[in-house]
Structure 1
Amino acid sequence: MMTIIWSLLKHNGKPITAYAIGTSLYLLMLAALYPSMMKSGLLEAKLQALPPEVLKAFQYDKVTGFDNVLDLLGGNYYGLIFQIIASLFLLSLAARLLARPIDNGELILYLAAPITRHQYTASAMIVMMIASTCLVLFNTFVLLLADWFVAGVSIDGMTLVRFQVNALFLLYAIGGFTLFVATLFDDERRAFSIAGGVLVLSIVLTIGAGLSEKMDWMRYGSIFSLFNTQQLLEGTGDLFLHLSILTGISLFFNASAFLGFRKRSLSI
Structure 2
Amino acid sequence: MRTVLVAGVGLIGTSVALALRSQGIEVYLSDPDPKTLRTAVSLGAGRTDPPSEQVDLAVLAVPPEQVAGLLAQLQKQETAIAYSDVASVKLQLQNAVLLLGCDLSSYVGGHPLAGRERSGPLAARADLFRGRPWVLTPTNDTQPVVLDQVLELVALCGAIPTVADAAVHDRAVALISHMPHMMSSLVASRLAEADPFSLRLAGTGAQDMTRIAAGDVDLWTEILTANAAAIAEVMEQVNIELSIAIKAMRALAGGGQNKRAYGLRELRRLLQRGVRGQAQISRQTAAHY
TM-score, length of structure 2 as denominator length: 0.28
Which structure's residues are more often helix, by fraction?
Answer: 1
For normalisation by structure 1, the TM-score amounts to 0.29
The structure whose Rg is larger is 2
Going by fraction, where is strand more abundant, 1 or 2? 2
